[in-house]
Amino acid sequence: MSRVLNRMSLEGKVAIVTGSGRGLGKAMALALADAGADLVVTARTGSEIEETAQEIEKLGRRVLAVPSDVTDPGRVDHLMKSTLERFGKVDILVNNAGVAIVKPLMELSLEEWRKTIDINLTSLYLCCKAIGPHMIGRRQGKVINVSSVDGAAGKATLVAYCAAKGGVIQFTKALAVEWAKFNIQVNAIGPGAFYTERMAVVFDDEKLGPIRRKKIPVGREGRPDELGPLVVYLASSASDFMTGETVFIDGGELAKL
């Protein structure tokens, strides 16, 4: 293996990926496993993370599936404790859990607003605070937060989601500065339009699909596996001098704005 590729290896590392039962979270978990990491996969739906776990095992990696609610402090603490009991350490935390409620602001209830903020943003606070003492004590760690192009550009009917994902970007910058002295790198990924279960209803529609693709300069939606190399880079020693950044992977959509 070349020196460059060797720096991308995650052999011996342990990663937690929230919201890893499907979509981008599952794709990132599989990519980390393919690069050599052992995984802890978590989401609310146990059957989904069990399927992810089975695919990771086929790659020859150790894996722990823990159903959890990342907006519940008690469940988050249980997740982190279960991880340390099984693997003894955590090297990488990928905060991917998210939800988008599509409604005009005047139709958005306070409950829906709070749900959106809690799942997309408060979960970062809870997960980082729970694993922080461990990473700080070891003086090393990688935190990768998942934002969105909608965290950098306004979009009608997604006010709460845009606010939360914009908050993820600022959370990433602030925590990166705070934890830099502990040799912990904190970065974010800002995905654009990817073909996932949630977006299939748009891209598979004969009318909506072509309209949505026209907004993307490269003329197509992203494939979940295309996030793999980026998350592996941010999780590896190759990115040790990079912190506080948000990397957008969106087919040029933001560049067009």
Look up tokens 């991880």; give the residue: 83
125 has catalytic annotation: no
CA angle 65, 16, 117 (to 5 degrees): 100
- As a 3-state breakdown, the chain gives helix, strand, coil percent values, each rounded to 5, of 50, 15, 35
Between CA 220 and CA 229, with CA 224 as vertex, the angle to 5 degrees is 105
Is the CB of residue 144 less than 8 Å from the CB of residue 94?
yes
Buried b (16+ CB within 10 A) or exposed e, 220-251: ebbebeebbebbbbbbbbbbeeebbbbbbbbb
**Which H or E element spans position 18?**
strand 14-18
Nearest to 18 by CA among 43, 54, 50: 43
In angstroms, the CA 131 to CA 141 distance is 10
The catalytic site residues sit at: 161
